[in-house]
Amino acid sequence: MAKIDKMNRDELEKAKAEAEAQLKAIAKAQADYDGRRIKELRAEVEAMLAKEGYTLDDLTGGKSGKRNTAGRAKLPAKYRHPENAAMTWSGRGRQPQWYKDHIENGGKAEDLAI
């Protein structure tokens, strides 16, 4: 490749396109490698566990890759709508619109606290 500071606009655009294509190919190769390596490592770990009489589920405490959300208790409410007591919020997750409106209009979170 010629010296970059000696290239004209068209040559620079061509060099840039070639570099971007090469970067894209490298990123794909990295992703492919990572996928293969993870499969290899998983097989090795499963073989080691099987040799001892265990499974990957035994090691991870359940179905691998799944998060156990069953039986999770609902959090108690920390904030209540000033006019509609049925509307509450635990303080976690997305803020409800009524809470946002209250804060934007100069109200304080303590005003809504239960």
100: closest CA among 114, 112, 84, 83? 112
Q: What pLDDT score does 68 carry?
A: 59
Residue 82 φ/ψ, nearest 5 degrees? -65, -25
* Domain definitions of the chain by residue range: 7-60, 79-112
Per-residue pLDDT tens listing for the chain (114 residues): 568 999 999 999 999 999 999 999 999 999 999 999 999 999 999 999 999 999 988 888 876 555 656 667 788 999 999 888 889 999 998 999 999 999 999 999 998 998
Alpha-carbon distance of 67 to 112, in angstroms, equals 33
29: left (phi over 0), alpha (psi -120 to 50) or beta: alpha
Is this prediction's pTM over 0.75? no
Distances (CA, A) of 113 to 48, 80, 97: 53, 6, 16
Tokens of 111: 């005003």
